[in-house]
């Protein structure tokens, strides 16, 4: 194991190491020469555009896309315009910035997605240089044009072009420039001869990095660290300035003793770096310059490309790929020669243990005496994370597991998680998958994104395997993979709609969280409407299907799905849409086939569009509702004549609806209205709007008996009600004699208790008494009680031997009526005996 440190190079008080990563490409003759190269961060794909300057149709540039492990994904001749720059987005899409300012987007498999333009004026002035950059907002593109103007798009998925202010004195392109994100603002830093500027949305500010006096010369190259925290500047005198990217602080100035401008310059640091460094590359030399002033030199014999990562630099040439990084502190602790760190001791102890040597015990004792065993386990686990070699990982994890046995109450979580994660990482690092992620990168990237990346590469089974292995809830894991798979599947042109729909349904089934509408939307996007409709059928959420169906102009289906969802608001939405889309006849016809939608639309019209309501009823020959409509409408009329004419329409409709009763009743209403108006005109009676009953009451109170009589006959009032009417009116007017005459006019159809009641209502007991005797036997007791004659009531009740009546009388008796109570009680007893 001692040779682990063989590739360690000291730099200041830290060490740097170069680890070989799997690389299986073998680029033809020219290697990386004469090519535009874009290699994505986080072990992303690599794109090469060979000989981009070729223009003739007979020999076109070739675009090649590889996995990070060098496996070729695709390769095709570039038929569009001349390309200035290529770069990858955070979602593994390739951006090709053309000279004319248009940016073409391809996916990992080289299929064209879409394009956008960096502005019309660029077509004239042409793009001189372009850069693709990443920020919390997504992937952005920056260009500098022939007219020396910078244009930025911060997020290509939400395209907003920003033309930056002019840079004074700049002609053509600047000597060097870069884009960075600071305080949620995207800025450009550029150098032009001896001058340096910071460009933001509104201003162009000349700047002077602290400690970089003019004697060091002009800045000819610059780079910013992965986190946008540090900036390094290379001057034409061979000096390297490093400092904070806000240009407030200087870290150091190192003399590289190389006057030529490096081909590439990249920061090499990691979270919690001990010794930051900048990697500079010339044709034959790779120089690691630590900010302490120390340097490490590596010879280069083949053109290569540097890819800055979160925790190091990947160096790619035509045959190999290396990861250059600072050795993490925990690995130093464990592997440094003669280290006495607890982790180092534990690793040694385990090694002895495997050899069955008692030294294992001595080492363990030593760690335990310092009570550092927990720390030792932790160190081993952590170090395993940073090692790329599976054997080294294993020996560290075994040591950790060994140490764990001697600890009580030690949570195994960290250990278990690490084993799982490393297993996943080792799998994806494999050449066939080609994602050379370090553990630090993996943590930063998150598992979610890793799965996305696998999905972009169409490693669906592996992605699902990993989701299951790491026990991610289906919602975030398997379902997402399936969704992507299905969206991809629907684009397969060689399969029939049926075959695809069936395949999707079988695989996706009812996986939670997979939206068939999303998949269908994809199919529709690809012009496969029929397939989209088939897929929508699997969508459980009817509501989700509606917007897409509307978009596809399947409004009939959209309506029935909306109805099916039960969401009335959705139904309304479709109905409103249809109303604007279709002509009225078709619209009504469609509603007719959807009763639920029709009733909802009626409701809508009742509140909003009365006129339409009428048309709707008309169309359906719904005479009953039409009649009701006219009835309601009649009340809105201000003039009697119009009201009568509207009512007449109601009558006609009622007749058509064969609702004889309602027709007659409405005719009656019209008759009453006419009568009221006539009498109002003649006598100013104020009758209009009263009910028939109220009208007659008023007439009686005005003494218009003849008119009352007329209404009684005309409207065929039942005798009973007529009697009540007259009775009440007379009592109210205290016409007691009239009342008595009336009572004798013929046998009362409402009995005589009513007479007693109305008299009592007018507090006329003596009049009331007159009618008590005429009351039927059943009502006698009650009549007596109404006039407050308990004794009479008691007599009547006793005579009728009715227990409940006697009870009723009893309940009215107060203590003063003890004689009566006595009598009643006795009567009850004797009545119950019989």
Partner 1 sequence: MAAHLSYGKVNLNILREAARKDLREFLDKCAGSKAIVWDEYLTGPFGLIAQYSLLKEHEVEKMFTLKSGRLPAADVKNIIFFVRPRLELMDIIAENVSSEDKTRSPQDFHILFVPRRSMLCEQRLKEQNVLGSFINIDEYILDLIPYDGDLLSMEYESAFRECYLENDQTSLYHTAKGLMTLQALYGTIPQIYGKGECARHVANMMLRMKREFAGSQNQILPVFDTLLLLDRNVDLLTPLATQLTYEGLIDEIYGINNGYVKLPPEKFAQKKQGETSKDLPTEPKKLQLNSAEELYAEIRDKNFNAVGAALSKKAKIISAAFEERHNAKTVGEIKQFVSQLPHMQAARSSLANHTSVAELIKDITTSEAFFDNLTVEQEFMTGVDTDKVNTYIEDCIAQKDPLIKIVRLVCMQSVCNNGLKQKVLDYYKREILQTYGYEHILTLNNLEKGGLLKPQTSSRNNYPTIRKTLKLWMEDANEQNPNDISYVYSGYAPLSIRLTQVLARPGWRSIEEVLKMLPGPHFEERQQLPAGLHKKRQQGENRTTLVFFLGGVTYAEIAALRFLSQMEDSGMEYIIATTKLINGTTWIKTIMDRPESQMS
Residue 692 in the binding site for partner 1 (CB under 8 A): yes
Nearest CB to partner 1, comparing residues 196 and 670: 670
Kindly tell me which residue out of 448, 691, 710, 776 binds partner 1, with binding defined by CB under 8 A: 691
- Binding to partner 1 by CB under 8 A, coded x per residue (else -) over 630-659, reads -xx--xxxxxx--x----------------
Kindly tell me which residue out of 348, 387, 669, 805 binds partner 1, with binding defined by CB under 8 A: 669
* Footprint of partner 1 on 310-349 (CB under 8 A): none
Nearest CB to partner 1, comparing residues 273 and 666: 666
Residue 572 in the binding site for partner 1 (CB under 8 A): yes
Residue 661 in the binding site for partner 1 (CB under 8 A): yes
Nearest CB to partner 1, comparing residues 430 and 668: 668
Kindly tell me which residue out of 74, 155, 628, 648 binds partner 1, with binding defined by CB under 8 A: 628
Cα separation, 186 vs 150, in Å, equals: 12
Question: C-alpha dihedral over 709, 715, 719, 725, to 10 degrees?
Answer: -60
Token pair in block for residue 256: 């590289």
Q: In what order do the strands lie in the sheet with 230-235?
A: 219-224, 230-235, 239-244, 250-255
Kindly tell me which residue out of 6, 338, 506, 607 binds partner 1, with binding defined by CB under 8 A: 607
Residue 810 in the binding site for partner 1 (CB under 8 A): no
Of 207, 208, 231, 212, the C-alpha closest to 221 is 231
Kindly tell me which residue out of 566, 686, 703, 807 binds partner 1, with binding defined by CB under 8 A: 566
Of 181, 309, 289, the C-alpha closest to 232 is 289
Stretch that binds partner 1, among 13-21, 165-173, 329-337, 600-608 (CB under 8 A): 600-608
Within 13 Å and on the Cβ side, how many CA atoms surround 99?
10
Kindly tell me which residue out of 116, 604, 736, 742 binds partner 1, with binding defined by CB under 8 A: 604
Residue 215 in the binding site for partner 1 (CB under 8 A): no
How far apart are CB 255 and partner 1 at their closest, in Å?
54
Cα separation, 412 vs 406, in Å, equals: 13
The neighbour count for residue 826, using CB atoms within 10 Å, is: 11
Residue 608 in the binding site for partner 1 (CB under 8 A): yes
Nearest CB to partner 1, comparing residues 432 and 665: 665
Residue 803 in the binding site for partner 1 (CB under 8 A): no
8 Å CB contact between 134 and 178: no
Residue 688 in the binding site for partner 1 (CB under 8 A): yes
CA-CA-CA-CA torsion sign (215, 218, 220, 226)? positive
Residue 805 in the binding site for partner 1 (CB under 8 A): no
- Binding to partner 1 by CB under 8 A, coded x per residue (else -) over 518-557, reads ----------------------xxx---------------
- Binding to partner 1 by CB under 8 A, coded x per residue (else -) over 748-777, reads --x---x-----------------------
Distances (CA, A) of 249 to 170, 230, 241, 516: 27, 10, 11, 54
DSSP state at residue 164: P
DSSP for 116-159, written as a single string:
EES-THHHHH-EEEEEEEEETTEEEEEEEETTS-EEEES-TTS-
Residue 423 in the binding site for partner 1 (CB under 8 A): no
| N- to C-terminal Cα separation, the chain | 120
Stretch that binds partner 1, among 7-15, 23-31, 343-351, 723-731 (CB under 8 A): 723-731
How far apart are CB 815 and partner 1 at their closest, in Å?
18
8 Å CB contact between 590 and 578: yes
* Footprint of partner 1 on 57-76 (CB under 8 A): none
Distances (CA, A) of 156 to 140, 162, 445, 499, 765: 6, 12, 20, 35, 97
How far apart are CB 575 and partner 1 at their closest, in Å?
9
Nearest CB to partner 1, comparing residues 44 and 477: 477
How far apart are CB 139 and partner 1 at their closest, in Å?
29
Kindly tell me which residue out of 367, 672, 768, 793 binds partner 1, with binding defined by CB under 8 A: 672
Residue 570 in the binding site for partner 1 (CB under 8 A): yes
Nearest CB to partner 1, comparing residues 248 and 608: 608
**Three-state DSSP state, 198:** strand
Residues 6+ positions from 631 with CB-CB distance below 8 Å: 647, 650, 666
How far apart are CB 537 and partner 1 at their closest, in Å?
14
8 Å CB contact between 164 and 199: yes
DSSP state at residue 19: E
* Footprint of partner 1 on 448-477 (CB under 8 A): 474-475
Stretch that binds partner 1, among 333-341, 507-515, 678-686, 701-709 (CB under 8 A): 507-515
Kindly tell me which residue out of 90, 300, 447, 511 binds partner 1, with binding defined by CB under 8 A: 511
Residues 6+ positions from 662 with CB-CB distance below 8 Å: 627, 654
Residue 720 in the binding site for partner 1 (CB under 8 A): yes
How far apart are CB 810 and partner 1 at their closest, in Å?
14
Nearest CB to partner 1, comparing residues 51 and 474: 474
Residue 717 in the binding site for partner 1 (CB under 8 A): yes
CA-CA-CA-CA torsion sign (769, 771, 774, 777)? negative
Distances (CA, A) of 195 to 40, 207, 250, 774: 31, 8, 18, 124
Kindly tell me which residue out of 5, 568, 645, 648 binds partner 1, with binding defined by CB under 8 A: 568
Token pair in block for residue 585: 């006849």
Cα separation, 522 vs 536, in Å, equals: 11
Residue 6 in the binding site for partner 1 (CB under 8 A): no
* Footprint of partner 1 on 729-748 (CB under 8 A): none
How far apart are CB 603 and partner 1 at their closest, in Å?
5
DSSP state at residue 181: E
Token pair in block for residue 78: 């570039």
8 Å CB contact between 772 and 784: yes
8 Å CB contact between 384 and 417: no
Beta strands of 230-320 (E only): which ranges?
230-235, 239-244, 250-255, 264-268, 277-281, 285-290, 295-299, 304-309, 312-317
Residue 479 in the binding site for partner 1 (CB under 8 A): yes
Residue 567 in the binding site for partner 1 (CB under 8 A): yes
Stretch that binds partner 1, among 206-214, 372-380, 449-457, 599-607 (CB under 8 A): 599-607
- Between strands 264-268 and 285-290, the pairing is unpaired
The neighbour count for residue 30, using CB atoms within 10 Å, is: 12
Token pair in block for residue 766: 């003596």
How far apart are CB 714 and partner 1 at their closest, in Å?
11
Stretch that binds partner 1, among 250-258, 286-294, 347-355, 562-570 (CB under 8 A): 562-570
How far apart are CB 699 and partner 1 at their closest, in Å?
14
Stretch that binds partner 1, among 80-88, 250-258, 438-446, 505-513 (CB under 8 A): 505-513
How far apart are CB 556 and partner 1 at their closest, in Å?
19
Residues 6+ positions from 294 with CB-CB distance below 8 Å: 10, 11, 12, 275
8 Å CB contact between 511 and 486: no
Residue 788 in the binding site for partner 1 (CB under 8 A): no
Nearest CB to partner 1, comparing residues 458 and 693: 693
How far apart are CB 713 and partner 1 at their closest, in Å?
14
Residues forming contacts to partner 1 in the complex (CB under 8 A) are: 474-475, 479, 510-513, 540-542, 565-570, 572-573, 576, 595-596, 599-600, 602-604, 607-608, 624, 628, 631-632, 635-640, 643, 661-662, 665-666, 668-669, 672, 688-693, 715, 717-718, 720-721, 724-725, 728, 750, 754, 782
């Amino acid at each position: 194991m001692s040779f682990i440190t063989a590739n360690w190079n000291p730099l200041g008080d830290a060490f740097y190491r170069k680890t070989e990563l799997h690389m299986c490409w073998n680029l033809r003759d020219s290697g990386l020469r004469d090519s535009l190269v874009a290699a994505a961060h986080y072990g992303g794909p690599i794109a090469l555009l060979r000989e981009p300057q070729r223009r003739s149709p007979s020999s076109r540039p070739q675009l090649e896309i590889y996995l990070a492990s060098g496996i070729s994904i695709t390769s095709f001749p570039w038929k569009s315009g001349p390309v200035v720059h290529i770069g990858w987005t955070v979602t593994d899409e390739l951006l090709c910035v053309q000279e004319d300012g248009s940016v073409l987007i391809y996916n990992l498999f080289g299929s064209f997605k879409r394009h956008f333009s960096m502005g019309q004026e660029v077509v004239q002035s042409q793009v001189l240089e372009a850069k693709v950059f990443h920020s919390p907002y997504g992937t952005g593109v920056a260009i500098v044009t022939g007219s020396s103007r910078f244009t930025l798009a911060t997020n290509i998925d939400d395209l907003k072009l920003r033309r930056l202010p002019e840079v004074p004195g700049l002609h053509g392109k600047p000597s060097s420039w870069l884009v960075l994100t600071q305080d949620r603002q995207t800025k450009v830093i550029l150098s032009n001869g001896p001058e340096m500027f910071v460009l933001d949305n509104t201003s162009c500010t000349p700047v002077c990095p602290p400690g970089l006096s003019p004697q060091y010369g002009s800045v000819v190259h610059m780079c910013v660290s992965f986190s946008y925290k540090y900036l390094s500047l290379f001057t034409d005198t061979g000096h390297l300035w490093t400092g904070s990217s806000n240009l407030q602080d200087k870290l150091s100035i190192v003399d590289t003793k190389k006057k030529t401008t490096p081909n590439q310059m990249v920061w090499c640091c990691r979270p919690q770096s001990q010794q930051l460094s900048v990697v500079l590359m010339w044709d034959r030399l790779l120089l690691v310059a630590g900010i302490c002033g120390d340097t490490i030199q590596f010879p280069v014999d083949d053109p290569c490309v540097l890819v800055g990562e979160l925790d190091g630099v990947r160096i790619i040439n035509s045959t190999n790929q290396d990861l250059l990084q600072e050795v993490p502190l925990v690995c130093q602790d464990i592997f440094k020669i003669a280290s006495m760190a607890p982790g180092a001791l534990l690793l040694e102890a385990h090694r002895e243990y495997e050899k069955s040597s008692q030294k294992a015990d001595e080492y363990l004792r030593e760690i335990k005496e310092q009570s550092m065993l927990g720390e030792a386990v932790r160190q081993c686990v952590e170090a395993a994370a940073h090692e790329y070699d599976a054997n080294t990982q294993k020996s560290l994890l075994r040591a950790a597991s060994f140490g764990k046995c001697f600890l009580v109450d030690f949570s195994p979580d960290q250990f278990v998680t690490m084993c799982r994660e490393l297993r996943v990482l080792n799998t994806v690092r494999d050449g066939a998958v080609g994602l050379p992620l370090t553990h630090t990168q993996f943590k930063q990237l998150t598992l979610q994104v890793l799965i996305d990346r696998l999905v972009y590469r169409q490693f669906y089974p592996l992605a699902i395997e990993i989701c299951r292995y790491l026990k991610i809830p289906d919602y975030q894991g398997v379902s997402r993979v399936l969704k992507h798979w299905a969206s991809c599947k629907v684009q397969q042109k060689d399969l029939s709609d049926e075959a695809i729909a069936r395949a999707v349904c079988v695989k996706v089934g009812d996986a939670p969280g997979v939206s068939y509408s999303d998949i269908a939307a994809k199919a529709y996007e690809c012009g496969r409407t029929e397939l989209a409709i088939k897929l929508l059928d699997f969508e459980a959420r009817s509501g989700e299907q509606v917007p897409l169906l509307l978009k596809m102009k399947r409004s009939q289906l959209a309506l029935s799905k909306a109805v099916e969802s039960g969401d009335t608001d959705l139904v309304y939405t479709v109905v409103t849409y249809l109303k604007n889309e279709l002509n009225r006849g078709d619209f009504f016809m469609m509603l007719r086939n959807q009763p639920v939608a029709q009733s909802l639309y009626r409701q809508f019209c009742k509140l909003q569009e009365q006129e339409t309501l009428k048309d709707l009823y008309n169309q359906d020959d719904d005479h009953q509702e039409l009649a009701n409509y006219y009835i309601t409408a009649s009340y809105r009329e201000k003039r009697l004549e119009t009201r009568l004419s509207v009512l007449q329409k109601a009558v006609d409709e009622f007749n058509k609806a064969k609702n004889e009763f309602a027709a007659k009743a409405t005719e009656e209403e019209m008759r009453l209205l006419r009568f009221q108006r006539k009498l109002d005109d003649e006598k100013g009676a104020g009758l209009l709007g009263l009910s028939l009953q109220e009208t007659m009451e008023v007439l009686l109170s005005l003494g218009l008996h003849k008119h009352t009589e007329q209404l009684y006959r005309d409207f065929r009032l039942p005798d009973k009600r007529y009697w009540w009417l007259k009775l009440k009116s007379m009592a109210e007017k205290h016409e007691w004699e009239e009342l008595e005459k009336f009572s004798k006019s013929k046998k009362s159809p409402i009995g005589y208790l009513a007479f007693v009641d109305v008299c009592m209502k007018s507090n006329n007991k003596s009049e009331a008494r007159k009618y008590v005797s005429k009351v039927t036997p059943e009502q006698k007791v009650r009549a007596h009680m109404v006039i407050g004659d308990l004794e009479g009531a008691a007599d009547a009740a006793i005579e009728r031997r009715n227990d409940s009546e006697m009870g009723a009388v009893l309940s009215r008796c107060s203590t003063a009526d003890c004689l009566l109570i006595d009598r009643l009680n006795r009567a009850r007893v004797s009545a119950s005996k019989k």
